[in-house]
Amino acid sequence: YSELVPGWDYQTFLDHIVPKQRTAVDEKLRATFAAGTDATFECRIVRADGAIRWISVAGRYRRDVDGHPHVAGTTQDITERKQEERARRQSEKRYRLLAEENERLYRQQFEIAEILQNALLDIPAEMGPITVGHLYRSATETARVGGDFYDVFGVKERHIAVLIGDVAGHGIEAARTATLVKDVVHAFAHQTLRPAEVLRRANGLLVEKALPGFVTLLLSILDRETGACRYANAGHPQAILKRASGEIETLGLGAMPLGVDPRGAWKPADVEMRAGDLLLLYTDGVLEARRGRDFFGEKRLVRILKRKRISASTLPQQVLDEVLAFSGGTLTDDLAVLALSYAGQPVGND
């Protein structure tokens, strides 16, 4: 063999190749040239100053005029290109690992959020004289959790607390905030039967924690023996009450949401529920469902309530069906619907 690198004979060339590559390069070259073909390859060499460089070698097989085999080579220093390729591979690897980790964390957080959402929406179908129907529908399939929540629970022996709320935002953070609000309302509702006071205390805690966004909330506390119901509204859409007679009433008094002003205050209002009455609570995703420039609105809810064949257990699905039919099957926001019917004096306690 002659010169693969100008100025070096074959053995000198091999001696300069880094030890890990030397044998493989030698075997490849001998096999290639034994077959009478050219060879192009890349390898690392050690320079006289000890620096390691990448080179690209093109070995050309020829025979001289006497027919003797002769090999000559040209080289190109490709160290910078190799360094760039290595940096790119490392960057791609880091990006891939980061993407995989983000995907893992997303799945983990999504699973946690679904658990939180299910806990927020898990309520009994009956509580003494109260029959409950409810549903939650996300605006998208990719983010099936959000800040809409509701609950019905017993307090102080014969009272039932009914709440529905909406945390600004979507995803796991909204679900976590909703869980916090629900727990806070639970705690304060067991301390006092005054819903406006519960809102005041909950607001103070939320402002203190400096949570992002705000929370709308409608809280009612019902005496299940007498039907007396006191409620307070923190910026939430007003509830609609259908009397057994068919008459429609609204539970208004909407004020500022929770988590905005530490000095926030809310006024209570009273309504008496009678046997056969039906109460509808919902989040703004119902009212804001759109068809072009037209919103679903409260009037369409009232029309649903005026139907003869409705009940607490079937009303939420009827509302959703009407909303989807109106909007063409798409939602601009998550929605929650909670319906309660009151049967009057209970036969016994839970």
| CB-based contact 320:335 (threshold 8 Å) | yes
* Tokens found for residue 118: 């299910």
Q: Is 240 among the domain residues?
A: yes
User: Considering the domain boundaries, does residue 252 fall inside one?
Assistant: yes
HSE toward the beta carbon, residue 23, CA cutoff 13 A = 2
Question: Is residue 134 a part of any domain in this protein?
Answer: yes
- Binned at pLDDT 50, 70 and 90, residue 296 comes out as very high
Report the distance separating Cα 228 and Cα 221, nearest Å: 8
* Interstrand relation of 69-77 and 335-342 (parallel, antiparallel or unpaired): unpaired
For the segment 184-198, the average pLDDT, to the nearest whole number, is 94
Tell me: do 127 and 14 sit in the same domain. no
- Within a domain: 50: yes
204 lies in the same domain as 245: yes
Q: Find the length of the chain.
A: 350
The verdict on 71 and 206 lying in the same domain is no
DSSP state of 157: T
Q: How far apart are CA 104 and CA 102, in angstroms?
A: 5
> Does residue 125 lie in a domain region?
yes
pLDDT band at 348 (very low <50, low <70, confident <90, very high): very low
64 and 115 belong to one structural domain: no
- The H or E element containing residue 278 is strand 277-282
Q: How far apart, in whole angstroms, are the C-alpha atoms of residue 323 and residue 344?
A: 31
Q: Write the pLDDT tens digit of every residue in 309-340.
A: 899 999 999 999 999 999 999 888 889 999 99
Per the domain annotation, does 350 fall within a domain? no
Look at residues 24, 58, 77 and tell me which one is the last residue of a structural domain.
Answer: 77
Looking at the structure, do residues 66 and 121 belong to the same domain, yes or no? no
- Residue 219, in any domain of the structure: yes
CA dist 294 → 238, 290, 303 (Å): 20, 6, 17
Range of the domain at 303: 108-342
**160 shares its domain with 35:** no
Check pLDDT > 80 for residue 47. yes
Q: Output 148 or 141, whichever has higher pLDDT.
A: 148
CA distances from 259 to 51, 145, 166, 205, 235 (A): 65, 21, 12, 8, 11
Residues 187 and 262 in one domain: yes
Task: Clarify whether residues 118 and 220 are in a common domain.
Answer: yes
- The answer, yes or no, to whether residue 167 has pLDDT greater than 60, is yes
Instruction: Say yes or no: 48 and 155 in one domain.
Output: no
Longest dimension (CA), the chain: 120
Q: At what angle do helices 171-189 and 195-209 cross, to 10 degrees?
A: 140
On whether both 176 and 285 belong to a single domain, the answer is yes
What mean pLDDT value characterizes the chain? Answer: 85
**The CATH number of the domain where 54 resides is what?**
3.30.450.20
Indicate the number of domains in the chain: 2
pTM of the model: 0.67
CA 82 – CA 53 distance, rounded (Å) = 9
pLDDT per residue over 126-140, tens digit each?
Answer: 888 999 999 988 876
SS3 helix, strand, coil % of the chain, rounded to 5? 35, 30, 30
End-of-domain residue from the set 22, 55, 77: 77
CATH number at residue 275: 3.60.40.10
Question: Is 98 a domain residue?
Answer: no
115 and 70 in one domain?
no
Backbone angles phi, psi at 204, to 5 degrees: -60, -40
| Listed residue (195, 233, 235) closest to 215, CA to CA | 235
Residues 42 and 163 in one domain: no
